[in-house]
């Protein structure tokens, strides 16, 4: 397991980083933090505390995206001057201003801090997501109608989204219950424990905006660190008192007469119970239903067989001949983690993936940097801003097609071609002595048209003497081997399937019947889910989805943001119905159809419509059912509150 939150600390104890008062004690730890911490963020903190805009003038000519960390283009004398001035402000009584910077100054700070303009439209999102402006809890809002005491909400799943829903429902005064199939919270981060499991999203953004933590051990969290964060959140917000563990929702049926949902729940002992609730929030997530590959003979293999999503921590691979089927994100994380201990590792690659090198992917957060995040006022908020800016909408240009770009190009724009060349340069540098691997690993589709891989030892592992890459087609699996179509046989002791999840089947095994007995399975089929804004569907009053059709941020990091804003939208819908004296809210058919037509039209402008783009974002008919084809800021704005003309109340 990775280091827990606050190494050596009990996660039930209040973390001392929440006390960030001035003046600070002039300690060696503070001086070390100022020496080690990200200099662009220190600049933001200094100006925030002093309103000294002249310091922005000094630095604005030296800060350009993208950055190294710390910034190497900034003259040493400027950095030294900044650190000395900030040190004085932090330790001297009365040296820091107590009033907040004006919005104009904040916007200029942001623009200088990232080396490019931060437009007005981003300010509300940024102030919310980086933690400078937290909304007043709904129960405390003047004039808001309190939910009726008998109004009950059921949440499916206690992962990242389900926990956010529980916390915000509590803040809003809604009685609710969370049904969770596992014995603990965490969802995908509880379940995925394979060696090397990690997170693509940078650590200091991949958290709730209302619970920003400095306690990350690396700049990209390993899975165990993410789970520890969620355990900390569950403790702090007392989430578990709402959760019924080891329970599975199997069916939902809407009662037209009472505007209630009958929810069938199967308990661990197999017994079923029907819970009657007013509203359902489905937070079971797309990365929850793992799947075996469709390979003849898989069931007759006599050795050990497992999926990355159901990893057995007691499995000892030392000296074993191991096969890994799949080279997506899970496979690329697993292979370098287990390669040093196995006798022979054969990697079976069905399709190629673009691989990006991020030099900080495995970097440890230094003690000084962690001290700054814990104790220096405003540092963690401003650092989160930096991470968001470069991991989120700054990448959107990569997935937007340039209509004047050659149609037969393996890229879709100049920016996309630049990223392609960056990835190719890394590939060629890593395998300069292995041209055979360069040819076998180079994709022929545009980069970002399907999920990219971050190189955290993946390419190095493929060069090991005990690792072989086979990109041929598997014909069958025998009792002891994997047989290829060309007749080659690979004798193996263990087969690991890193073959992903059944994402297109967004209902999972749920049986959902809405108004008039209509069936969502009949309407969606197996892999053609459609919704209004990724949250609601006509005919299913008070049934809300999270990470629903065409709401995933596939151009960038940001699932935590999507989860938060969808929960906000759902509670706004419920609040509206309650205030109007109704019991249910339902999306209307015409806005639903218009929205899906808008998505279809927009998708033709996106990278996912490139002829060679094929990924799990698409269903069997090549329709992208998953991706949000706009920016995160656009979804944040769309989720502020429902358009009342697009809904009916019951």
Q: Model confidence over 189-223: pLDDT tens digits? A: 999 999 999 988 899 999 999 999 999 999 998 88
Strand ranges inside 453-519, DSSP E: 453-454, 467-470, 474-477, 481-484, 489-491, 494-497, 511-513
Domain span including residue 515: 147-289+504-649
- 565 in Cβ contact with 636 (< 8 Å): yes
Which pLDDT tens digit goes with each residue over 362-402?
A: 789 999 999 999 999 999 999 999 999 988 888 899 999 99
Helix, strand or coil for residue 364? Answer: strand
Distance between CA atoms of residues 437 and 8, nearest Å: 44
Question: Bridge partners of 264?
Answer: 251, 274
Q: Are residues 455 and 564 in the same domain?
A: no
Whole-model pTM: value is: 0.94
In a domain, 9, yes or no: no
Strand ranges inside 326-402, DSSP E: 344-348, 355-356
What residues have CB less than 8 Å from 474, skipping those under 6 apart? 295, 325, 348, 482, 483, 484, 485
Distances (CA, A) of 129 to 383, 386, 389, 637: 12, 12, 11, 13
Helix (H) or strand (E) holding 265: strand 260-266
Q: Are residues 317 and 265 in the same domain?
A: no
Query: Quick one: which of 524, 488, 562 has its CA closest to 205?
Result: 562
In a domain, 117, yes or no: yes
Q: Are residues 388 and 407 in the same domain?
A: no
Q: Are residues 331 and 247 in the same domain?
A: no
Domain boundary among 451, 481, 497: 497
Domain boundary among 471, 497, 523: 497
Distance between CA atoms of residues 46 and 78, nearest Å: 13
Q: Are residues 81 and 229 in the same domain?
A: no
- 521 in Cβ contact with 547 (< 8 Å): no
Phi/psi zone of residue 279: left (φ > 0), alpha (ψ -120 to 50 degrees), beta?
beta
In a domain, 174, yes or no: yes
Instruction: Give pLDDT, residue 502.
Output: 84
Placement of tokens 């008919």 in the chain: 621
Q: Which of 242-251, 384-393, 462-471 has the lowest mean pLDDT?
A: 384-393
Band (pLDDT 50/70/90 cuts) for residue 287 is low
Q: Are residues 36 and 74 in the same domain?
A: yes
What residues have CB less than 8 Å from 521, skipping those under 6 apart? 507, 511, 512
Q: Are residues 154 and 253 in the same domain?
A: yes
Q: Are residues 74 and 107 in the same domain?
A: yes
Q: In the chain, how many domains are there?
A: 3
Provide mean pLDDT across the span 277-293: 87
Instruction: Give pLDDT, residue 223.
Output: 86
Q: Are residues 598 and 528 in the same domain?
A: yes
Q: Are residues 461 and 416 in the same domain?
A: yes
Instruction: Give pLDDT, residue 72.
Output: 53
Backbone angles phi, psi at 537, to 5 degrees: -140, 135
Placement of tokens 């900030």 in the chain: 86
In a domain, 10, yes or no: no
In a domain, 462, yes or no: yes
Residue 3 has pLDDT above 90, yes or no: no
């Amino acid at each position: 397991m990775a280091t827990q939150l606050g190494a050596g600390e009990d996660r039930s104890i209040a973390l001392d980083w929440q006390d960030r008062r001035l003046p600070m004690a002039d300690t060696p730890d503070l001086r070390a933090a100022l020496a080690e911490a990200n200099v662009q963020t220190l600049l933001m903190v200094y100006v925030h505390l002093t309103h000294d805009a002249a310091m922005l003038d000094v630095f604005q000519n030296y800060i350009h995206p993208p950055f190294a960390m710390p910034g190497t283009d900034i003259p040493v004398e400027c950095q030294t001057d900044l650190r000395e001035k900030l040190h004085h402000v932090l330790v001297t009584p009365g040296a820091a201003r107590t009033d907040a910077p004006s919005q104009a100054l904040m916007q200029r700070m942001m623009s200088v801090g990232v080396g490019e303009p931060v437009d007005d439209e981003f300010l509300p999102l940024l102030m919310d997501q980086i933690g400078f402006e937290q909304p007043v809890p709904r129960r405390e809002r003047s004039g808001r109608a309190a939910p009726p005491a008998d109004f009950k909400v059921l949440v499916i799943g206690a992962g990242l989204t389900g926990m956010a829903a529980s916390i915000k429902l509590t803040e809003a005064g809604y009685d609710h219950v969370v049904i969770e199939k596992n014995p603990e919270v965490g969802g995908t981060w509880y379940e995925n424990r394979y060696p090397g499991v990690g997170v693509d999203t940078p650590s200091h953004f991949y958290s709730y905006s209302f619970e920003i933590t400095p306690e990350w051990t690396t700049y990209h969290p390993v899975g165990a660190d993410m789970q520890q964060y969620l355990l900390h959140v569950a403790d702090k917000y007392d989430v578990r008192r709402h959760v019924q563990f080891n329970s599975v929702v199997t069916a939902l049926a809407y009662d037209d007469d009472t505007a209630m949902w009958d929810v069938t729940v199967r308990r661990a002992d197999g017994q079923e119970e029907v819970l009657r609730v007013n509203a359902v929030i489905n937070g079971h997530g797309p990365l929850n239903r793992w799947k075996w590959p469709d390979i003849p003979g898989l069931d007759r293999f006599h050795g050990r067989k497992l999926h990355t999503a159901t990893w057995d921590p007691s499995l000892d691979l030392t000296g074993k001949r191991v096969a890994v089927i799949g080279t997506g994100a899970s496979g690329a994380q697993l292979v370098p983690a287990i390669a040093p201990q196995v006798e022979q590792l054969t990697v079976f690659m069905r399709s190629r993936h673009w691989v990006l090198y991020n030099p900080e992917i495995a970097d440890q957060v230094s003690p000084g940097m962690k001290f700054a995040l814990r104790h220096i006022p405003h540092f963690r908020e401003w650092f989160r801003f930096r991470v968001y800016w470069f991991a989120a909408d700054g990448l959107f240009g990569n997935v937007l097609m340039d209509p004047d770009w050659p149609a037969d190009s393996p890229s879709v724009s100049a920016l996309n071609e630049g990223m392609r060349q960056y990835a190719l340069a890394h590939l060629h540098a890593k395998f300069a002595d292995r041209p055979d691997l360069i040819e076998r690993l180079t994709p022929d589709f545009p980069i970002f048209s399907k999920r990219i891989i971050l190189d955290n030892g993946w390419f190095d592992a493929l060069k090991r003497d005990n690792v072989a890459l086979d990109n041929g087609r598997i014909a069958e699996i025998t009792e002891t081997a994997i047989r290829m179509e060309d007749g080659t046989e690979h004798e193996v002791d263990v087969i690991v399937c890193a073959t992903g999840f059944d994402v297109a089947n967004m209902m999972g095994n749920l049986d959902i019947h809405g108004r008039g007995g209509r069936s969502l399975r009949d309407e969606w089929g197996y892999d053609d889910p459609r919704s209004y804004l990724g949250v609601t569907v006509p005919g299913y009053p008070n049934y809300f989805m999270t990470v629903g059709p065409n709401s995933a941020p596939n151009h960038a990091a940001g699932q935590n943001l999507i989860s938060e804003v969808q929960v906000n939208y759902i509670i706004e819908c419920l609040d509206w119905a309650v205030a109007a004296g109704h019991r249910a809210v339902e999306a209307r058919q015409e806005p639903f159809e218009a929205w899906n037509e808008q998505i279809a039209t927009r998708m033709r402008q996106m990278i996912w419509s490139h002829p060679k783009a094929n990924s799990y974002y698409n269903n069997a008919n090549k329709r992208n059912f998953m991706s949000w084809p706009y920016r995160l800021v656009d979804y944040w704005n769309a989720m502020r509150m429902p358009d009342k003309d697009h809904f009916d109340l019951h």
